[in-house]
Amino acid sequence: MSANERPSGQQTQTYDSPFMKACRREPVPHTPVWFMRQAGRSLPEYLKVREGIPMLDSCMMPELVTEITLQPVRRHKVDAAIYFSDIVVPLKAIGIDLDIKPGVGPVVAEPIRSRADLDRLRDLTPEDVHYVTEAIGMLTGELGATPLIGFAGAPFTLASYLVEGGPSRNHEHTKALMYGDPQLWADLLDRLADITAAFLKVQIEAGASAVQLFDSWVGALAPADYRRSVMPASAKVFQAVESYGVPRIHFGVGTGELLGLMGEAGADVVGVDWRVPLDEAARRVGPGKALQGNLDPAVLFSTTEAVQAKTDEVLAAAKDLPGHVFNLGHGVLPTTDPDALTRLVDYVHTQTAR
Ligand code: CP3
């Protein structure tokens, strides 16, 4: 099934929503809006329910995941929910010793750097993440016609955490492996592609209406390296979920030079950060794909007038695109005023009402 055919399962209810229509590049009543990291520390109600519960534990508690996922939908009236989880959850689920350290990010106890280390990356089964299936079942019941976006980390970004052992500015160990042992690197990314594809399938089969592949840190690569060393694995992930016919979104930060290739990897919607205006991004991506983005998340710390002026710029650059999903150019920053987000959703909806 292609992304333009009607599905038959859970996803039927959300099929005609503005978000799904924009992903399919169909006319919409208003430009749909959601925010990467819309659930999380910017919301007092999130801080309250998470109190005393470590991040990764919270991802395995279906009732809590349901509540946290719904919080930004209730508060901001966004056009889509994003499943509350983290990109390292499938790795934890197959037994990798890792933790999410507050204010730091994912930390891996024993980094993966040798052929022997690869054996620790076993296949992911639906039973490994049964709590995801349970939570999505609850969520789709509550969400009705509002689509739920499932997500996963892309092979490169997952590899960067596994090889570095934690967050990294320069990705030196990752690049050392990629250039120094191309075969081991290719095998590592291929294993991660299988795990990622299995994780996305669980989410779609449980009822997610769309999926986003986060390749957050791939902007660290030049296009030739991306094409040779990363694109085959990302393409394998997109290929693996193609038959479901749900929109596939692909996002990374600082990926201006990679936008065309990231679309080519198999995305239906290409996410753009704030560094490239959407009309220029559309030229780089080429026809046949929708775009998502791209207000600088730091703009939300400015005055309402400034937020609106910068939003007008985004909407003007997107006005001739057949499919535009409004979003930030990266995740909501933790100290963002939640009211500024609510106002932004309303502003985009009113400005684009047709
Ligand atoms: O609302 C949503 O967007 C869904 C939730 C979500 C989380 N992580 C929850 C989370 C999503 C989509 C992610 C994806 C994710 N995780 C990415 C890709 C998106 C991006 O930002 O580029 C990456 C690179 C990670 C890895 C990760 N996990 C980082 C860098 C951090 C932040 C560390 C910190 O504390 O500043 C995390 C932890 C994390 N993931 C938090 C949340 C809400 C914060 C932990 C907490 O609230 O205790």
Do residues 273 and 253 touch, judged by C-beta distance below 8 A? yes
Q: What is the pLDDT of residues 257-278, one digit of tens each?
A: 999 999 999 999 999 999 999 9
Query: Can you tell me which atom of ligand 1 is nearest the CA of 105?
Result: 33
Does ligand 1 lie within 6 Å of residue 36's CB atom? yes
Output the CA torsion sign for 190, 193, 194, 195. positive
172 falls in which pLDDT band (50, 70, 90)? very high
The C-alpha angle with vertex 16 and arms to 199 and 141, in degrees rounded to 5, equals: 55
* d(CA 39, ligand 1 centre) in Å: 9
Q: What is the pLDDT of residues 93-150, one digit of tens each?
A: 999 999 999 999 999 999 999 999 999 999 999 999 999 999 999 999 999 999 999 9
* pLDDT of 61 strictly over 60: yes
* pLDDT of 3 strictly over 80: no
Q: Give the active site residues.
A: 37, 41, 50, 86, 161
* d(CA 248, ligand 1 centre) in Å: 20
Query: Can you tell me which atom of ligand 1 is nearest the CA of 332?
Result: 3
46 is in an annotated binding site: no
Domain ranges of the chain: 10-352
Q: How far is CA 138 from CA 13, 81, 170, 207, 244, in A?
A: 15, 13, 40, 10, 21
User: What average pLDDT does the segment 60-68 reach?
Assistant: 98
Ligand 1 mutation target, pool 53, 87, 169, most atoms within 8 A of CB: 87
In the CATH scheme, what architecture does the domain 10-352 have? Alpha-Beta Barrel (3.20)
The whole-number pLDDT of residue 312 equals 98
Q: If you average pLDDT over every residue of the chain, what do you get?
A: 96
User: What average pLDDT does the segment 279-299 reach?
Assistant: 98
161 is in an annotated binding site: yes
AA letter at 262: M
The whole-number pLDDT of residue 1 equals 43
* d(CA 171, ligand 1 centre) in Å: 19
Q: What are phi and psi of 79, to 5 degrees?
A: -85, -5
284 is in an annotated binding site: no
286 falls in which pLDDT band (50, 70, 90)? very high
Q: What is the pLDDT of residues 187-204, one digit of tens each?
A: 999 999 999 999 999 999
41 is in an annotated binding site: yes
The whole-number pLDDT of residue 11 equals 78
ipTM: 0.94
Whole-structure pTM over 0.90, yes or no? yes
Three-state secondary structure of 56-108: HHHHCCHHHHHHHHHHHHHHHCCCCEECCCCCCHHHHHCCCCEEEECCCEEEE
The whole-number pLDDT of residue 345 equals 98
Query: Can you tell me which atom of ligand 1 is nearest the CA of 251?
Result: 22
Does ligand 1 lie within 6 Å of residue 254's CB atom? no
